[in-house]
Every structure is written in structure tokens, then in C-alpha cells.
Amino acid sequence: MTTLVVSLSTSSSFLFSKREGQKGRLGGGMCFPLRKGTPRTTLPRRHHHHHRNSRKRTTTSIPRAAFLRDFLKPSSSKNRKEEDRNIEIFEGEVSEILESARAAVFPTTAEKKTGSGDAEASSSTSCNSGFHQGEIWGNGEHLGMDVRWKLAYADENFIDECVNPHLAYVSGFDAERNEVWETDFSGYTQTLDLDDREAALLATWIRTGYWVSRDCLEMKGLLEVTYVKDTNENERVVAVRLKDDGLIVANVFLCKETYLPKKVQIKCCGSVETWKYSRWKAYQHGQFMFAETCEIIGSSGSTQRFDAQGYRAKSSSKTFSSPEKRFDSELISIEKDDDNRVGESSGSSSSSSSSSSKYNVEVVKCSSDHVLVRPYINGRDVGPFILDTGASGLVLDQRVADDLDLATFGEVHVSGVSTKVKCAFRRAKELKIGKLKIEKPVFMQMDASGVVSGCSERVAGIIGFDAFKSSIVDVSSGNDKTVHIYPRGYFDANDWPWQNVSIVSNVPHLKARFSGKGNHQTKLRMFMVDSGAGGADVIFHGRAVESLDLENALLSKNEVRRTSTVRGVSGSGGGGGGAEKCVKATLDWIEFENKGMRVQELKTLLANGSGFDLSEFGVGMVCANVLNSRRVVYDMPNRRMCLFEEEKKKVND
């Protein structure tokens, strides 16, 4: 028997320097990348300076991922022994490869090392002295638009800026705070975590050459490099990851003649991106080599191009400190209720909020598991939108966008459940949802109609992370749902069962244990929170199904395999987001990380492909059935969410 499960989710986040973006989702089905930000000059910064010789030695603390290692790649004991032998064989060769790559990126270092004793003693050039700095800028093409970019760096620190006529972004790494951060086009700044953090560091350190410096590899020990293979294309491949259980791997393809990188492949958010480097040029009187052209090719075939036009040996950035202001944007505001003070506990933990109705959002009824709200775009009611935690951006139907005569710009390739579609950006003057107002909102042009059942109106779009990132969203349980959007900091109820949240591609993730064979029930796993994925309680992506052997863990050997088909939404040209068949199963229980919050008897889907694979740290997603059957308070500025027990049928811990 085959049923249809409609899911939606979308990503408008970026991962790192000049990527097309990273994979987000439309409720487990659709995802799109969007790189956005604001010029650095608008950011408030701490104005303090550190002399480099007095600068504290910094080590990068990476999120511990040992608890996830066992499902990254299924491996037999025989394979592990073979891998161990390979590590022993190639350990010495890796050192030679890195020496050659270091000499290629920093030529004068190698010359001085092979010269006289005095020359060798004076070889404290950039890569050996522990201080490699500079600034590179240029033009290119990004998201179908002309772009200006600049990359400033000093050792592991960096600030990366990219500006086009419609969007801009800034991201960076502050080694003193040990923080990777991003600022989007609205001025909203947040700390990057998990996949976002690791991919940002790897991509930028490889691009600047810092990855082969002794400061990186020996003095601070930030990276782990292993030999992979030699190819038929005269390439030598090494795998680079962050030390201390880094999960994201960058495969660097070195030319065997020059030992300069030809390309880098990074698997992140369920897909592989390829960075191609060409036109290598010597800068700083031959001390430093940099690729003047960088092309980034996404798994969809989309290409971004960045050409260097200028270089200076010393960065113009006075500080690499991350911005002080967080979770706020000049383009996002919320009208506060004068009758209620911000910070009150506001309401019982077991019922919907009793706060002022002034924060209420109009809800549109439907028979499916989705939550529909009625926003206003440019002052007009254009129909219901899906309120979707799994959507890291805004989505708007082309019919509505054309009717509103919204500006069109750029293009982006959207990854669906099993295929890719190309979409355009649309920009409005204003979006209002209750008391929340977003100025100059950017939408992905996509067709979201047909994914919600039992609604008398055509669904006009999706409301994602933009509504959650600077406010508190309170969604009640039951058929007669209420939605309230409060100002940031409204709740101070610390005794509630809050769950810690991590953000990947602007999509919330939380940790939970679940039932099954072996030690499944004892280890915490990472799950995406996707209120737009209807028709299921939990979906496990194909990588987790295979590596954790979930089909055998949740189904008996002779049990009939029933399937459900999950499909995504379509793009601007009507191209479908694809579909993927999943095996149906039942999960006895799932228990969230904090305060023993447990849900029992869950409808579960086991995927076969990679359509639901967002985070390398994750195993799947918690879906609309679980989220919409209880009151949930989403407090994204504080990186937490609260799931209350069901009112009608409470579950036991």
C-alpha cells in the first residue's frame, strides 16, 4: 500500500564564503540556498586591538561528535583494519604531501629552508611565523547576479564580504571568541554551529592557504589531514577535517606537478559542492600564491564565479571581532503590547498562552497537519501561508508575486526530494504577520499549492525562519489552533521543559533518544525540527537508515514493507520537487534531551535516498504530527524550544 505524505521546507541560509548556499528544506521535501548579508561597515564592533606577539594562542573547539560517528559510514571490522593499515602506510607520505603543498603556496619559505643556515634561521615568513595575513578583492557572478567581494584574513581569523545589487552578506571567524558568525542582508547576526561552522572554516582556510601553514597544523593543531588517493588526472587527494571529531570533510585535489589545489569537494547538507581553482598568481613579491579565479559548482550544476582583481599583504580590517549585536535587524520589528510587560511568564505550561490577543496571528483552518497563517504583503491579503520551522526562508507563489508586481532578480537552483529546479527571487516592500513586520522581504518564487489538504483557499507561500529568528512563536495544540508572535525575551519561564536548539541552514535541530535495538535508546541523536513535514511523526534519512540498520531495528524480518511517497514543491518554471518512497514503521518512543520529555507510538518513515539529509550531524526530522499535536513555543533568539505534553492524551515519562 502506498500513501502520499506531503512535506515542505526550504533553506535560505548560506554556509560559507561565496557558496551558492546550503541545503535547507521545504518540510523535508524542498530546499533552496540563498546567500545574504549586510556590509560590514553597518555592524557595531568592539574597538580593541591586540598586538600579534601578545595575542593569546587559540585553539578551535569543535562540537563533540563522537556520539554520531557510528552512523556516518557503515564499516565492518575488516574494513576498519584495512583503513588502519592504510593510515600507517600513508602517514609519512601525508607529511611529504603537506610539505610540498606548503612550498607551493608559500614559495619563499621553501627557498629559504634549502638555503644557508642564516637564511634558514630567518625563514620566519608568513606561514612559519604563525602570522599569515592579507586582503583580496574582486568581482564575479553569484546567484545569477554580478557581485563584488572581499576576503580579509589574519591566520585563522577572517572576514568575508559579498555584495550584489540586491543582496549582501558578511561572515567571519573570531579566533579570540572561537566563533564563526554571519550577518544577513537584514542586519541579523547569528553564530554558526555544526555543519555551518565546520564548512565555513574549512572552505576559507583552504582558500587563503592557511590550511598548510605550520601555525595551523603544528602550533595550533586545528586540522587533521589524511591521504585519500592518486587519480588518473595527475592529482593527489587529501581529506581535510577539523580536529576533535569534525564531521565535514573537504577533499583537496592537488596537482602532482605543482602541488597547488586544483579543486576542493565538500559534502555538506546532503550534497557535494566543488570549488575549482585556476590562474594561480604570486603575490607579496612571490611569497604567497593565490588562485585568481574560483568557480563553485553546486550539485545542481549551478556555477558561481569569483575573480580576484586586487591584493594587499596587510588586511585593512582593524579587528576581526564578531559583531556585538545579535538576533536583531533594522528590517524586522514587532509592536509591543503596552498592557503586558516583556519578560513575564505569560500563561500556563499546559495550555495555550493567555497573553494579550494583540500578539495573535490569524490562523486559517485545514484538514492536514500544517499550520496556516494569514500574512499581509504590501498591505494586501494574498492568501494563507504555511508556518514552517523547516523553511529557512520565505516562499511565494509566482501568481501572487506577479499580481503584486514584485521585483524579480537572480536565480537559484532548488534541491527537491529527488530532483533540482531553478527559481527566481522576488522582493516586496513589506510583510506583516500579526504584530511582526519585515521590511524588504526576499521570497523564493515557488509553487506551494497542492501540498495542504482541506483548505478552502489556495496556499500562497511559506513563512519560515524570517518569522522565528528575532521573535518568539507560540503555537497551541488542537484543531482550533492559535498562533502568537511575541517580542524577543517575552518569556522567562525557566521551569518549562525547554529543549536546547542548534541552527543548521537556518533550520532548528534538537537532540533526542529513540527506541530500537542495541544502544539506539541510550545515545542522543540530532533531529531537524520540521513543522511543515506533514503525514508523519518522525522521518529518518537514508544515511541513518543504512548505518543504524533501522529497517531491521524497527521491523521484523517477515513483516510486510509498506511505503509512503514524500514529495516536494515545484519551482518557478513548474518543475516538480521530486518524490521519494519511504518504508513505514513504528517507533515505540522518542525522548528529547532535557527533562525527559517523551512521546510514544510514533508514525515513522525510513527513507532510501538522500532527499531528507540536511545535517551531517543529524539522523532525520521530527515532523508536524508530533509538533502540532501539542503546544510548542519556539524561542530561536535564545536557541531553545519548549514542547509540552498533549492535553487530551498525556504521555508518561
Cα gap 499→494, rounded to integer Å: 11
**Please, what is the Cα angle at 589 between 586 and 590, to 5 degrees?**
115
What amino acid is encoded at 460 in this protein? A
CATH superfamily of 335-543+569-643: Acid Proteases (2.40.70.10)
Closest CA to 432 of 362, 473, 375: 375
Q: Which of 165-169, 419-423, 525-529 has the highest mean pLDDT?
A: 525-529
Residue 89 burial (C-beta neighbours within 10 Å; 0-12, 13-18, 19+): exposed
Mean per-residue pLDDT, 591-596: 87
Q: What is the pLDDT of residue 102?
A: 96
Q: What are the Cα distances from residue 189, in Å, to 323, 506, 528, 653?
A: 7, 12, 21, 37
Question: Which residues are within 8 A (CB) of 568 and not within 5 positions of it... i.e. 6 or more apart?
Answer: 7, 8, 26, 29, 30, 416, 417, 576, 577, 578, 579, 611
Cβ contact 482:363 at 8 Å: yes
Mean per-residue pLDDT, 483-506: 91
The four Cα atoms 626, 443, 575, 529 give a dihedral, to 10 degrees, of -20
The four Cα atoms 82, 260, 244, 295 give a dihedral, to 10 degrees, of -110
Cα gap 499→207, rounded to integer Å: 37
The residue with greater pLDDT, 46 or 330, is 330
Q: What is the pTM of this model?
A: 0.83
Q: What is the pLDDT of residue 415?
A: 56
Residue 646 burial (C-beta neighbours within 10 Å; 0-12, 13-18, 19+): middle
Binned at pLDDT 50, 70 and 90, residue 99 comes out as very high
Cα gap 623→7, rounded to integer Å: 9
Cell 559583531 found at: 323
- Pairing between strand 483-487 and 640-643? unpaired
Q: Percentage of the chain with pLDDT > 70?
A: 73
C-beta atoms surrounding 472 within 10 Å: 24
Q: What are phi and psi of 102, to 5 degrees?
A: -65, -40
Closest CA to 464 of 6, 31, 22, 17: 31
Retrieve residue 509's grid coordinates: 535541530
Q: How many residues does the chain have?
A: 653
Range in 389-393, 423-427, 429-433, 644-648 with the lowest mean pLDDT: 644-648
CATH superfamily of 76-312: Lipoprotein localisation LolA/LolB/LppX (2.50.20.10)
User: How does pLDDT run across 205-253, given as a tens digit for each residue?
Assistant: 999 999 999 999 999 999 999 999 999 999 999 999 999 889 999 999 9
Q: Considering the chain, tell me which residue range(s) the CATH 2.50.20.10 domain(s) occupy.
A: 76-312
DSSP class of residue 435 equals T
C-beta atoms surrounding 226 within 10 Å: 16
Q: What is the pLDDT of residue 22?
A: 38
Cβ contact 263:254 at 8 Å: no
pLDDT at residue 199 tops 90: yes
User: How does pLDDT run across 5-48, given as a tens digit for each residue?
Assistant: 433 433 333 333 344 443 344 444 433 333 333 322 222 333 33
Cα gap 408→188, rounded to integer Å: 23
Cα gap 311→290, rounded to integer Å: 10
Residue 244 burial (C-beta neighbours within 10 Å; 0-12, 13-18, 19+): middle
Cα gap 631→634, rounded to integer Å: 10
Q: Percentage of the chain with pLDDT > 90?
A: 51
Q: Report helix, strand or coil for 42.
A: helix
Cα gap 329→28, rounded to integer Å: 28
- Pairing between strand 461-463 and 385-387? parallel
Q: Considering the chain, tell me which residue range(s) the CATH 2.40.70.10 domain(s) occupy.
A: 335-543+569-643
Mean per-residue pLDDT, 143-160: 94
Closest CA to 618 of 274, 199, 76, 248: 248
Q: What are the Cα distances from residue 155, in Å, to 109, 152, 204, 219, 304?
A: 16, 10, 11, 12, 26
Retrieve residue 208's grid coordinates: 587563503
Retrieve residue 224's grid coordinates: 587533521
The four Cα atoms 446, 541, 475, 379 give a dihedral, to 10 degrees, of -10
Cα gap 167→36, rounded to integer Å: 5
Cβ contact 240:225 at 8 Å: yes
Retrieve residue 253's grid coordinates: 585535489
Closest CA to 275 of 257, 295, 253: 295
The residue with greater pLDDT, 617 or 32, is 617
Cα gap 239→252, rounded to integer Å: 6
The residue with greater pLDDT, 4 or 115, is 115
